[in-house]
Chains A and B, each alone.
Chain A
Amino acid sequence: MTGEGAPIVVALPTHLRTLAGVEREVEVAVPGPGAPTQRRMFDVLEAAHPRLRGTIRDHDTGVRRAYMRYFAGTADLSHDDPDAPLPEAVASGDEVFRVVGAIAGG
């Protein structure tokens, strides 16, 4: 996908929906050229919703925060290379990319 098709659908956890003032699912259109990646998807998401900066990924390194997880369908994408192409089903918008808080209690 190059952003010319359907956008990626990102589902956010409760705290981040409130912070960004959005519904549960946010559409993220990642411009081409090239297949969308985690990093480019989050870059677009954070540019549209600057209050999310630092709350999912580290401000400076872009590394996923320790208690955040990324799921799509039944797959755990948390440890995928952020510069690798996203799975086709996510990139096409058919499968929701879910940002989830780890079961950390409290």
Chain B
Amino acid sequence: MGQVRILVGTSKGLFVATSDEGRRDWTLDGPHFGGWQVMHAKGSPADPNRLYASTWTDWHGQVVHRSDDGGRTWEAVDNHFAYEGDVGTHQWYDGTPHPWDFKRVWHLEPSLDDPDTVFAGVEDAALFKSTDGGASWSELPGLRHHSTGGIWQPGAGGLCLHTILIDPTRPERMYVAISAAGAFRTDDGGESWSVITKGLSSEYIPDPEAEVGHCVHRIALHPSRPETLFMQKHWDVCRSDDAGGQWTEVSGNLPSDFGFPIAVHAHEPETIYVVPIKSDAEHYPPDGRLRVYRSRSGGGEWEALTEGLPQEGFFQNILRDAMSIDTLDPCGIYFGTTGGQVYGSPDGGDTWTTVAGHLPRVLSIEVQTLP
């Protein structure tokens, strides 16, 4: 019988929820790293007992932890993220030059086939890699040294690299997203990068169709169609069918196309999920109703999923790294809120139950489907 494990990163520690494949009854363990902000935790696809967690506080900065037993015990690994070469500057909010300054790790993306290899997306935006299980980190400086790097500007949460996608059919191809620089692709394992923002339009920058400056909130792909990308932007849901070469808006009939996470169904590559948020200034769902929207056509036509979710008085947000899927059949989908709830659906979004109801602010959700 299969098991599902949810890694819930919160503002005050990591919680681990487990269930059998019914996914209706959950056991909650934690907090691990009580008091630390767990920006993100994720397991290795090659070894589900190998987990990595990014923990951070204003007081003590960054610590990275590793588990080799599925999250029961953890050890701190290297926390030194040193930029390569000339540090240089990016732009500050007011357009003035600002030296690159490491703050924290937003996202950890383990390699698809090697438990000891893991990528880290950091603030100020850069991509780091470890090939020794986190014992040491090296920057892949080609991204930060991209010709546009000097004009990248932070979003409200900082200049953060928050999304890392690895193409399972050609792992030297990766995608990253940076708020508020945009989206980038490498085809050579991170040596060189291309901007992939053609077709995006953002009214909050002087030239709405500029090469960089788009506040990309999240990108997702289905492993069977890695050239098709789905994006939730700071306004607009978009898709690309040529590895980011051209984007098309697919917001369709959504009540708002502002939001943070986006996810793809495990077995239906044209079924995608978003959680519409009222606006960039009002980070809660329209009408105080928590509705996940599902499209079975890769965007354009959307349906509200509400059964089991609060339909009045809900004024919380769902952050960009706080939605994830399992790979059981039917596919399960999970998300966490800034009010500390975790909701899960064992049937692709048709019905929802509360996995955990009273946690600290949920920063990230990752799901592991275990044998």
A interface residue numbers (CB < 8 A to B): 13-16, 19, 51, 53-56, 59-60, 65-68, 101-102, 104, 106
Contacts and interface: CB of A to CB of B under 8 A. Distances in A.
Interface in B192-245: none
B59 A101 contact: yes
28 contacts: A13-B59, A15-B35, A15-B36, A15-B57, A15-B59, A15-B60, A19-B60, A51-B63, A53-B79, A53-B80, A54-B61, A54-B62, A54-B79, A54-B80, A55-B60, A55-B61, A55-B63, A55-B79, A59-B79, A60-B82, A65-B59, A65-B60, A65-B61, A67-B59, A68-B59, A102-B59, A104-B58, A104-B59
B3 to A, nearest CB: 29
Contacts of A15: 35-36, 57, 59-60
Given A15-B36, A51-B63, A67 B58 contact: yes
Interface of B: 11, 35-36, 57-63, 76, 79-80, 82
B314 to A, nearest CB: 24
B35 A19 contact: no
A74 to B, nearest CB: 22
Nearest to B12: A106
A19 B63 contact: yes
Which of B59, B80, B82 has the most A CB atoms < 10 Å from its CB? B59
B30 to A, nearest CB: 14
A59 B60 CA distance: 12
B371 to A, nearest CB: 33
Interface of B is mostly: loop
A66 B101 CA distance: 13
Nearest to A16: B60
A55 B36 CA distance: 12
A64 to B, nearest CB: 11
Contacts of B82: 59-60
Given A51-B76, A55-B60, A106-B57, 10 more contacts: A15-B60, A54-B61, A55-B61, A55-B63, A56-B60, A65-B59, A66-B58, A68-B59, A101-B59, A106-B11
Contacts of A106: 11, 57-58
Contacts of B80: 53-54, 59
A19 B77 CA distance: 11
Nearest to A13: B59
A26 to B, nearest CB: 16
Nearest to B81: A59
Contacts of B36: 15
Contacts of A54: 61-62, 79-80
Contacts of A13: 59
A54 to B, nearest CB: 5
Nearest to B83: A60
A100 to B, nearest CB: 9
Nearest to B77: A51
A19 B76 CA distance: 8
B139 to A, nearest CB: 14
Contact of B35 (A14, A65, A67): A14
A6 B36 CA distance: 34
A14 B60 CA distance: 11
B81 to A, nearest CB: 9
Nearest to A66: B58
Contacts of B61: 54-55, 65
Contacts of B57: 15, 106
Q: Which 3 A-B pairs have the closest CB atoms?
A: A55-B60, A101-B59, A51-B76
A15 B59 CA distance: 9
